[in-house]
Amino acid sequence: MAGEEMVRMEAMGDQRTTAFEAERKRLARLAYRMTGSLTEAEDVVQDAWLRWVRVGGGIDSPPAYLTRIVTRLCLDRRRLARARRETYVGPWLPDPLVGSMEPEETVADDVTVTLMLALERLSPLERAAFLLHDVFDVPLSEVAVTLDREPAAVRQHVRVARPRFSIEPVHAERITRAFFVAARDGDVAALSALLARNVEIHTDGGGKVLAFRNAIHGIERALRLFAGQRRKASVLPTLLRVVTIDGLPGYVSLDRGGVLQTTALDIREDGIAAIYIVRNPDKLSHLTTERFFPEPLLPIPPAS
């Protein structure tokens, strides 16, 4: 009997592992969208696994149960993150989730950096309700159970408007490369043609490297910024790879002084509406791993 019980427990363990692995990527995406941190998302998924293997008895719907675990773990972390965010140096941006410019290899949802920043204005519960229902297609009844709220209250969760403008990858890559060259060269004429009048520039250095303490607003200030950087530069930035960053076109580069950074461009009908630059090394360490870039990051030669 003891042997049969051991075999049964091993089979149940295998089933638990299979069920969890089938959901791992989705859970990691949810945790990242909730926290804005790739490291925290990995920690949440690991914590969820430890709780999952300790659950006794059968689970009717492993995906729903695991979603509930991850969401509640993220809500706990969001409350702690608010306190840390109050002492963060300069603008805060989510860790850059980098992908290929190929459509089939981009992030599997349409949550961009712009939308993630809009979600920062929501309460943790509102953010969770929006992501679960509007992004991950969880029924409202299940969202209510996950958040321990009445369904009527969940229906009142805040909906965030998403940008409706879409751009073909080839066109997006062309604009991205043109912007890199224009910004590198301080080419005011080229930048004027690329930027929207109300363009915003957000730079996250986290107090670790040089970055703007406040967002830059308006094309005039942006043009002065890029022209001034070119005048002061002794070494020009180097383009390493054209990528997507949370679904937006962008690139990875080495800035002056050899600082690794990512730049994401929110491109609209009237030009580049927002530029999101992450320079905080704590948020970029994953870019040097083979998981994200199997091939080394090498300078891209100029277009002929």
Q: Is residue 138 part of a domain?
A: yes
CATH number for the domain that contains residue 237? 3.10.450.50
175 and 145 part of one domain = no
282 and 150 part of one domain = no
Domain total of the chain: 2
Distance CA 85, CA 33 (A): 16
Q: Look at residue 260 in the predicted model and tell me its pLDDT.
A: 92
18 and 140 part of one domain = yes
CB 265 within 8 Å of CB 275: yes
Q: Is residue 294 part of a domain?
A: no
Instruction: Give pTM, 2 decimals.
Output: 0.85
Q: Look at residue 7 in the predicted model and tell me its pLDDT.
A: 45
Distance CA 112, CA 121 (A): 15
Q: Look at residue 163 in the predicted model and tell me its pLDDT.
A: 60
Parallel, antiparallel, or unpaired: how do β-strands 238-245 and 98-99 relate? antiparallel
Q: Which helix (H) or strand (E) holds 120?
A: none
54 and 187 part of one domain = no
Q: Look at residue 126 in the predicted model and tell me its pLDDT.
A: 87
Distance CA 272, CA 265 (A): 6
Question: Residue written as tokens 């094309």?
Answer: 219
27: containing domain: 2-87+123-154
Distance CA 74, CA 100 (A): 27
Distance CA 282, CA 80 (A): 18
Distance CA 297, CA 262 (A): 13
pLDDT in tens, the chain (304 residues): 455 555 454 555 578 888 999 999 999 999 999 999 999 999 999 999 999 988 876 788 899 999 999 999 999 888 777 767 777 888 899 999 998 655 444 445 678 898 888 888 888 888 898 899 888 989 888 988 898 887 777 766 556 656 666 788 899 999 999 999 999 999 999 999 999 999 999 999 988 888 888 999 999 999 999 999 888 877 889 999 999 999 899 999 998 778 899 999 999 999 999 999 999 999 998 887 655 555 555 556 555 4
Q: Look at residue 223 in the predicted model and tell me its pLDDT.
A: 96
